[in-house]
Structure 1
């Protein structure tokens, strides 16, 4: 063996011995660096502590998890810049409508009093303009939504815009793809945005869509070099047809949302069909996300905006709360907090995931403590072990202040709704959790319509018949092991 080879072996042996004895030094430096980065970011203290616990008690794995899901990536700054650029283009149109929407707000205040503050807030924060004279229809479960959506698609003359978190290539998914292809061949412009993380199957069919003339964008594609994109999800479910009809709610395009006896689990969900000037607000948001996803540019003035008829047709006032990782504030949460604060009689909330912010938990306790009937409905069995236990850890203080909690037993409750005093309805994609408030792309329609609000409240009462009323006594009688697991999972709540 040559002298060079012997020298190389000796060097490698020495390096190996050094690393074996002192491996903890570079590892410690990495840990200190990551923890210092978390502290410098000035996050919410609870989230800061949660990430530090994950990193300390899950060696190596914790750092990997933080890299994938915890960093405040440059991507957030990109969202902020792009949002500002796109919104700037809409400001001229926004300002032109200012005097008219001020009149709308005066009408709303006369109709619903201080609850109109929700609409005023959204306008002042330049989130969404209030609109009047819309027609709305409540849609319960996929059995009601999909026939209405298919009918609207079949009637399309100019364009179809779909933006969905989950778009499966199953029976209903393929049926809708077939309809879209048929309309595209007839000259209708079809654009589809799906979340890359939520719809991996459809993403694999992009060639099929392109061949059918369907323009397609996979939002925030998740690749090995961009795994952290999976932390930012486009959770919206929006359909817009000819700028006149729109659908919003919790129902994705998937067979699981249809209770036809073919699915193992009953799926309880809610959506709303909106027709009228409010569709313009959704159209503008679709346009922003289409360009964020680098879709081929198009001009909203080319027949995409709804023109208000001379004679009003509907009775519903509609606005929207939007939020995304680039939002300057959690507008969805704040719009709900204002409604809760102004409630006088009752608040009915449905959510599949309940990881409330301190602000939301406090608002519900204050409302219940001041005599408002506050009712919260959750699924009895969640599809997430950690979320299920973490959610239960937040219930005790609510129960202590008089909040009524119902656990839906018939199947999985996926509806994301609120009804306040029978005057204001929130129907959208927003879960009552930190992720929906601060991380995901979300939307909630906010509607004042006596008929729709009455139907939503009645549906809540029907769902109570399929639910167990969770009292404080029942909560305390749960096994200590489960309550202990609640407390452990709660530590991870800021990360869920």
Structure 2
């Protein structure tokens, strides 16, 4: 009797899932893979689908009330740049997806590695007059967090508001004792989709991977660096952690503040009033500053904005395209764009870390190397520690720096944010940095890679199978 009930229930759940895949499947290849998993792996296939496979763009599981945020208020529309020139279509695409126009007169400072980044961050935090908004995917206790809590206590005593969002899974090790200290001194702190058994299936696979700090709505930081002492001291297993961050001052900082405000509403259903922006009129009068556009994306959006942004930058490349990213696991569209550009004569160079923080992810990344090398794409393996930067620079004209990797997880499951900079000197600065790191790296050749051991090929094949889930 119980066996019959079990199989009847199993059949009904499987039927429901199959219908859901057929109605809401994002991609035919993924839909077929999930159908095969359900038919060939009893119970386990359904469990994996419920955990990793649902198309949240269709289901809108978080039901974020975005209507209140769609029309950017002043000052976010101030000093909007004309969407024209070579990258007009990209500017329009980002504006329609993320609702942020390109803006002029932004002051930028490129920050490489942890020491430089945190010196700049703490300097900005010390000068906060009204509020500090901060969110990170990984927030690990240590010297940095101890220094932060002391600074927050001082600033709150002087009337500064401090808000903090941490990802419930990325910052899973964050102790209750530390959170209680934050709340005791007056920090408003909330987790993004914390681990809870009741919503295990609906939340575990969707993370907030953004790293944002905004001070007084005027100065902001974003990039790949998390709050972790390994950016200062290195890692026992991997050694030094190398990463890139960006300091922004101007209207682009207000746009990042707006991204934080949307996430704040998501975690606690509270709205934040935007601070009035006071531009540096000296920069305006002298017509100096960078043209910057913020692109933010997440699984609740109608379209994968970061994937479309990367895709467009690749297709627009005429002379060269340099990419630094630890997790280059391209889907069909990005892979096709890269190969088409390379075969068409564009100098495509990728830089990834030779050392990996996850073996399966590393196998997956390397599983695409052979076909990339065959099409003429140059691949460099950076040997010193772990390279975590997420950078694209092209044609001495455009660059993007932020949190998004080149994989389905960043495009489909994570909340991400990048800054696109339309500026020749800034692009050349990143180009020079890439070439400097390339001189320290090992360049793979197609012939060399064909001779790799069969054991490595087998690992890569295993990693490629799981690449859509990574």
Q: Same fold (TM over 0.5)?
A: yes
Equivalent residue, structure 2, for 1:350: 324
For residues 423-447 of structure 1, give each alpha carbon's deviation from its aligned partner in whole angstroms, at most 9, with x where no partner exists.
2111000000001011100001101
Mapping of residues 296-311 of structure 1, within 5 Å: 296-300=270-274, 304-311=275-282
From 2, 6, 30, give the equivalent of 1:47.
30
**Secondary structure at the residue paired with 1:231?**
coil
Residue 205 (structure 2) pairs with residue 224 (structure 1):
no
Supply the distance in 1 between the matched residues of 2:77 and 2:156 (Cα, whole angstroms): 34
Question: Which 5+ residue runs of structure 1 have no aligned equivalent?
Answer: 1-14
Normalising by structure 2, report the TM-score: 0.92
- Kept in 2, the 8 Å contact 1:143–1:259? The answer is no
In structure 2, relative to structure 1, the CA distance for the partners of 1:320 and 1:251 (3 Å cut) is: same
In structure 2, relative to structure 1, the CA distance for the partners of 1:453 and 1:461 (3 Å cut) is: same
Supply the distance in 2 between the matched residues of 1:282 and 1:92 (Cα, whole angstroms): 14
Equivalent residue, structure 1, for 2:219: 245
Residue 403 (structure 2) pairs with residue 425 (structure 1):
no
Equivalent residue, structure 2, for 1:445: 419
Superposed displacement of residue 328, structure 1: 1.1
- Of 271-280 and 204-213, deviating more is 204-213
Equivalent residue, structure 1, for 2:297: 323
Supply the distance in 2 between the matched residues of 1:423 and 1:407 (Cα, whole angstroms): 25
Residue 187 (structure 2) pairs with residue 214 (structure 1):
yes
Equivalent residue, structure 1, for 2:165: 193
Superposed displacement of residue 116, structure 1: 4.3
Supply the distance in 2 between the matched residues of 1:203 and 1:236 (Cα, whole angstroms): 21
For residues 436-479 of structure 1, give each alpha carbon's deviation from its aligned partner in whole angstroms, at most 9, with x where no partner exists.
01110000110123333222112211221332211111221111
Supply the distance in 1 between the matched residues of 2:123 and 2:247 (Cα, whole angstroms): 12
- Kept in 1, the 8 Å contact 2:373–2:445? The answer is yes
Equivalent residue, structure 2, for 1:105: 83
Superposed displacement of residue 184, structure 1: 1.1
From 425, 436, 452, give the equivalent of 1:478.
452
Structure whose CA Rg is larger:
1
In structure 2, relative to structure 1, the CA distance for the partners of 1:169 and 1:363 (3 Å cut) is: same
- Kept in 2, the 8 Å contact 1:50–1:491? The answer is no
Supply the distance in 2 between the matched residues of 1:285 and 1:385 (Cα, whole angstroms): 33
Superposed displacement of residue 171, structure 1: 1.1
- Kept in 2, the 8 Å contact 1:268–1:415? The answer is yes
- Kept in 2, the 8 Å contact 1:426–1:447? The answer is yes
Normalising by structure 1, report the TM-score: 0.87
Q: For the aligned residues, what is the CA RMSD? A: 2.4
In structure 2, relative to structure 1, the CA distance for the partners of 1:413 and 1:56 (3 Å cut) is: farther
From 309, 315, 333, give the equivalent of 1:359.
333
Mapping of residues 276-425 of structure 1, within 5 Å: 276-294=250-268, 296-300=270-274, 304-312=275-283, 314-425=288-399
**Secondary structure at the residue paired with 2:146?**
helix
In structure 2, relative to structure 1, the CA distance for the partners of 1:95 and 1:207 (3 Å cut) is: closer
Number of aligned residues: 465
Equivalent residue, structure 2, for 1:9: none
**Secondary structure at the residue paired with 2:281?**
coil
- As a proportion of its length, which structure holds more helix? 1
- Kept in 1, the 8 Å contact 2:401–2:418? The answer is yes
**Secondary structure at the residue paired with 1:157?**
coil
Superposed displacement of residue 309, structure 1: 3.3
Superposed displacement of residue 480, structure 1: 1.7
